[in-house]
Structure 1
Amino acid sequence: MEQVNSQEAMIWRSEYNINNFKIDNEHQKLFSIAREALNIAKLQNHLDKNSKLKEVIIKLFEYVDLHFSHEEEYMEKLSYPEFSNHKILHENMLEMLKKLISEINTMELEQIEKELNDFIEKIFVQHIIKEDKKIQLWNTSLDDLKTNFGWKEIYSLNNPELDKEHKTLFKIAEEAFAIVEPELKHEKIKNILNKLYEYMKTHFSHEEKYMEEISYPNIEIHKELHNNIANTINDFVKELPSLSEDSFEKELARLIDVTIVHHIIQEDKKIITWLKANSNQSDS
């Protein structure tokens, strides 16, 4: 069975921007180096492959190290409240690459590829797209977040049923930003989140059934992501009473961005991309 194309995850999209020209350019450069690594992994000549993989891993380490220092300067300048935790994530990722470089001469080619792919998944999917995006969300006014929020055609999977349900998720989420009396806000948010949670469960069930029908190879990973989203929403509902009025709408915007927008454009698109690739191979 054909696996999901890893290179699909390495396509830069404007939604990944954190609205800092220097940082966004460096992220695009990192995507470019990651694509270079994935292309090398497909080489047939094993001697060239091993040598080139070592070169690109060292290149990746050097650029990641430089980029992280710039990103940390930016977070300090903003007085970003999660700076310390974010810096620890940076340190952990650099350690991953250091370990890979120090052991590379004793590793089999297949193991090098696996370690590299694991790192790329963590730094690009988990870090740039999720953790770095939190910086932008924190640094954006609530009014701007509300203005820019909503369904966009770039989110389309070109699957009518899935797109219809995704649009409904956005409509429910938009209700959370409707103006109500201050004393009613917490209760309103709680009710809408419960509504969102119930509809998500229905949608996830349909999406998982669809993945089963097409024999999607990463279905178990995708199901786990669905579970994580459901747990995140539940945790947020529990935290609502303790959040100040100034922060809970901003937290809601961040939650929706991470759980809906980036799940659709990063994970759900993998399903459709894999299906197209498989359909093309079947037709050829």
Structure 2
Amino acid sequence: MFQFTDDCLIGIEQIDEEHRTLFSLLNKAGTMLANDFCSDRYQDLKEIIEELDYYAEQHFTHEEDYMVQICDPEIIRQRAQHAFFREKIRDYEFVNIDDIDEQQRVLTELVNFLAKWLYRHIIGSDVLIGKLPPLEEWMVRENPCEFTDDYLIGIELIDNEHKELFRIVDQANRLVKSYDRASGYDKILDILDNLKEYTKEHFTDEEEYMESIHYEGLEAQRRAHDAFIQKLENIDLSEIDENPQESLQQLLEFLLGWLVNHILHTDKKIPLQ
């Protein structure tokens, strides 16, 4: 069974309850998959796909309406992720599932997709809902990428690596402000590559530390780290090339928002050795 754990809570009651329901649908599909396919499950599988499509549509509408209401800067990115989910689920409605073997294949693929997408989307994106200042307020600060004492967690290695992550994001911020189309694209690719590699190194160090002290929150941290890495791996470079300043601004807001939220609300819970 897939657990809706505390690290999936975002603190907004309606959204949290709807996430629980989505996990229930995931477990419903998982239970069906765990049973031996000795008979035709066409109708059961068809109903799960339809239920997922309907409920996800309702949930995404509620979530997006809430984000619009609070002027959440992540709304554009959220809409894109929701659209991807809708398309993926609706693709299953056109798959031929008359054959029992095909039913097994589709259900296996569906469960794997749902499990990965839900964890990564909730922990990588939804946790930021309501946590970031409105878009028009975010980047007008004197230096939004400054690493302040508020972000210190008291573990020297991790604090130093967090400072380096902020430095890399600040480097991207400076590039956005002085973007030169002739050379800017190559520079941003270098920064993004550096960010991806250093982030992976940092997460490895952080997880090794947590493992060494037998920290009970390690698995939740791993899920959050995995979700963030997936975000970095899936950055749309073609969008950056076509519309550099706007897309980079949105990306920068996400990167900085995720780091701040993760450090303040997750990393600060890591106990000192």
TM range (shorter): 0.5 to 0.7
2:179 equivalent in structure 1 = none
The answer to whether the 8 A contact 1:50-1:109 is kept is: yes
Structure 2 CA distance for aligned equivalents of residues 132 and 41 of structure 1: 28
Question: Counterparts in 2 of 1:14-25, with a 5 A limit?
Answer: 14-25=6-17
Mapped partners of 1:227, 1:91: distance in 2: 21
Counterpart position of 1:282? none
Deviating more after overlay: 251-260 vs 113-122? 251-260
**1:255 equivalent in structure 2:** 259
CA contact (8 A) 2:120 2:227 kept: no
Match of 1:71 among 63, 75, 83: 63
Residue aligning to 2:76: 84
Percent sequence identity over matched residues? 23
- The 1:230/1:34 distance shift into structure 2, 3 A limit, reads closer
CA drift of 1:260 comes to 11
The Cα shift of 1:38 comes to 0.7
Per-residue Cα deviation, 1:145-169 (whole angstroms, up to 9, x for no partner): x979959xxxxxxxxxxxxxxx666
- Indicate the structure with greater helix content: 1
Number of aligned residue pairs: 202
Aligned 8 A contact 2:10 2:127 in 1: yes
Provide the residue aligned with 2:104 in structure 1: 110
Report whether the alignment pairs 1:137 with 2:141: no
Q: Which amino acid aligns with 1:117?
A: V
Question: After superposition, what is the alpha-carbon deviation per residue over 1:93-133, rounded to whole angstroms, capped at 9, x for unaligned?
Answer: 11111110222435602321233024304530222221212
Residue aligning to 1:60:
52
Matched, 1:41 2:33: yes
Question: How many angstroms apart in 2 are the aligned matches of 1:229 and 1:66?
Answer: 24
Q: Specify the alignment match of 1:158 in structure 2.
A: none
CA distance in 2, matches of 1:117, 1:173: 36
In structure 2, list runs of 5 or more residues that go unmatched.
Answer: 139-143, 165-169, 172-193, 209-225, 235-244, 268-273
Tell me by how many angstroms 1:225 deviates.
Answer: 7.9
Helix, strand or coil at the partner of 1:30: helix
Using a 3 Å threshold, how does the CA distance of structure 1 residues 31 and 132 change in structure 2: closer, same or farther? same
Name the residue aligned to 1:29: 21
The 5-angstrom pairing of residues 119-158 of structure 1 reads: 119-138=113-132
8 Å CA contact retained: 2:67, 2:130:
no
Relative to the length of structure 2, the TM-score reads 0.54
Equivalent residues of 1:30, 1:60 under 8 A apart = yes
Measured against aligned partners, the alpha-carbon deviations of 1:57-76 in whole angstroms (never above 9, x if no partner) come to 22222111110110111111
Higher relative contact order by CA 8 Å / sep ≥ 6: 1 or 2? 1
TM-superposed deviation, 1:229: 8.7
**C-alpha distance 169-51 of structure 1, shift in aligned 2 (>3 A):** farther
Aligned 8 A contact 2:64 2:79 in 1: yes
| 1:201 equivalenced with 2:201 (yes/no) | yes
Inter-partner Cα distance in structure 1 for 2:9 and 2:41: 32
